[in-house]
């Protein structure tokens, strides 16, 4: 990052470097579900499943190197906010290259979702998207993440998780009930399942913060 550059750091067309993603996998193998970044086909499926165009406050759990994050920002409205929560300091630093007034880059654990939202003066999100591999975390941690999502989502909000394996459903269904939809994106390496849950209740306007 060049402090003397006058051009913005955020580039809406930039995609994740496969080399940077692979380095991230080598650094944090327990936190990365694949050695290859998500394909544009998977990203578009996530965007459609989450109905991002109507979202005002979105939380992304496990954004990694930021390829999906940049895609989500391209589909969000000008008044929306996107909060990323990343456990890896290395990935968190890479995410700092995204310069967008709608974006909040937080280093921390998805288990602490409620505290993180409060820290940034944000209300209840209407969308939470998770790319963290539930298959690689202890089940009590996965359950705690699912409970945090359930507790923080606005009424009518949606939780979207894209995963290689089905552990997320096994862990999340006892907390949020059966998934409202499940789809398989074959045009990704590896193929990914995309799950969606809804939180019962009427949707209320989310506070996008200041």
Q: What span, in angstroms and rounded, lies between the C-alpha atoms of 74 and 69?
A: 9
Q: Where are the domains of the chain?
A: 18-198
- Average pLDDT of span 81-90: 94
Q: Is the pLDDT higher at 48 or at 8?
A: 48
User: Is 192:166 a contact under the CB 8 Å cutoff?
Assistant: no
Q: Give domain 18-198's CATH architecture.
A: 3-Layer(aba) Sandwich (3.40)
Strands 158-163, 192-198: pairing kind = antiparallel
Burial of 1 (0-12, 13-18, 19+ CB in 10 A): exposed
Task: Check pLDDT > 70 for residue 112.
Answer: yes
Task: Check pLDDT > 80 for residue 36.
Answer: no
- Average pLDDT of span 173-184: 97
Task: Check pLDDT > 80 for residue 209.
Answer: no
Q: What's the pLDDT score for residue 13?
A: 38
What's the chain's average pLDDT? 85
């Amino acid at each position: 990052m060049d402090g003397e550059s006058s051009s913005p750091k955020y580039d809406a067309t930039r995609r994740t470097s496969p080399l940077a993603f692979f380095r991230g996998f080598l650094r944090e193998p327990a936190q990365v579900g694949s050695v290859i970044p998500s394909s544009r086909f998977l990203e578009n499926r996530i965007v459609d499943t989450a109905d991002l165009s109507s979202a005002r406050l979105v939380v992304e759990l496990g954004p990694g190197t930021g390829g999906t994050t940049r895609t989500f920002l391209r589909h969000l409205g000008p008044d929306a906010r996107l909060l990323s929560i990343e456990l890896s300091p290395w990935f968190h630093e890479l995410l700092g290259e995204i310069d967008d007034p709608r974006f909040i880059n937080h280093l921390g654990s998805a288990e602490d979702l409620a505290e993180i939202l409060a820290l940034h003066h944000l209300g209840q999100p209407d969308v939470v998207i998770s790319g963290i591999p539930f298959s690689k975390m202890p089940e009590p941690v996965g359950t705690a993440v699912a409970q945090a999502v359930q507790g923080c989502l606005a009424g009518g909000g949606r939780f979207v998780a894209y995963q290689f394996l089905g552990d997320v459903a096994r862990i999340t269904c006892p907390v949020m009930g059966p998934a409202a939809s499940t789809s398989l994106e074959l045009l990704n390496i590896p193929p990914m399942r995309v799950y969606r849950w809804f939180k019962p209740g009427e949707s209320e306007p989310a506070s996008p913060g200041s």
